[in-house]
Amino acid sequence: MKSPLPVRNGVNATRLRLPDEGPWDTALEYILDRFDHVNPQGIGERFDRGEVVGLGGTVLTRETPLTDHTFVWYYRELPVEQRLPVEITILHQDENLLVVDKPHFLPTTPGGMYVAESALVRLRVQLGIPDLIPMHRLDRMTAGILLFSVNPETRGNYQLLFENRRITKEYEAVAPVRPELNLGNEPLTVRSRIIKSRTYLLAQEVEGEVNTETTISLLEQRQTPQGVVGRYRLQPHTGKTHQLRLHMAGLGLGIMNDPFYPVLQPQQPDSYDEPLQLLAKSIAFTDPLSGAESFFESSLQLSGFA
């Protein structure tokens, strides 16, 4: 359902479903009750400014009956955010696709305390492309190749590549070395069932039908003061949340600087000198429009093995 309000400052308007009935006479009364923690004067002023609209762009007033609309859209009051000390590098841009190197610590899309400080909002504002949409996501702590759709008319062609798993991705990671796994000579494919609750921070491997698969290879290793560390190639064949981090930790190869796996660490401020050593290194696919073979590779390197 397309929003009748345009993107503002790189951020989409928020959609809210109104109840079919209840003790509220007007849409305003319901919104005030639902968001009773928000400044009620500010909510009323949004109605006065015409910033709350229904389907088709119909402007709601303070007197609009609750039952006049099923969905309404409005602009959120955004918090003031301090700019994160990381930058996005644009690797490729044409009329259909934008390919960037996302840095560590920057989320792909708005969420929680990060709205303006997300790759999507930064790029929309920087490039003046309000219709920009990510084709996939990287965790906030993961750096590397990220694809965005520029053109809504061709977006579906590229979305089908991801839905049908016709995309080849490779990641790199820095982690300890376990010689007995012999990963330098023979790649290991890990398969398991991973679940993640909306209310629990961590993903978990559980018994049941397999829904994830990752191939892991050791590319090189070196001695450091902290012990032997390796640079690994990770090839995910599925895309569950935290899949690579969990599969590595399950082998006793917890990725360097991972605050979640194998053991959840106490929450700390971001340490920009110690990013998670996980990089989305490359992505390859057959372009659905031109038929050409497309390959994009990150220009970033993992500091743990630099």
pLDDT for 254 beyond 90: yes
pLDDT of residue 1: 80
**How many Cα atoms are found within 13 Å in the side-chain-facing hemisphere of 97?**
21
Beta strand extents in 38-132 (DSSP E only) = 52-54, 71-74, 89-93, 97-102
Q: Give per-residue pLDDT as tens, 70-124.
A: 999 999 888 889 999 999 999 999 999 999 999 999 999 998 889 999 999 999 9
Mean pLDDT of the chain: 94
Q: How do the residues of the chain divide into helix, strand and coil, expressed in percent and rounded to 5?
A: 20, 30, 50
Q: Give per-residue pLDDT as tens, 157-175.
A: 999 999 999 999 999 999 9
Can you list the alpha helix ranges (DSSP code H) found in the chain? 27-34, 40-48, 119-127, 155-163, 243-250
What the block records as the tokens of 29 is 């009364």
How far apart are the C-alpha atoms of 218 and 283, rounded to whole Å? 19
Backbone φ, ψ for residue 235 (5° rounding): -120, 95
pLDDT for 226 beyond 80: no
Please report which confidence band the pLDDT of residue 36 belongs to, taking 50, 70 and 90 as the band edges: confident
pLDDT of residue 82: 93
How far apart are the C-alpha atoms of 124 and 128, rounded to whole Å? 5
pLDDT of residue 55: 93
pLDDT for 306 beyond 80: no
User: pTM of the predicted model, to two decimals?
Assistant: 0.91
Lowest mean pLDDT among 10-14, 197-201, 293-297: 197-201
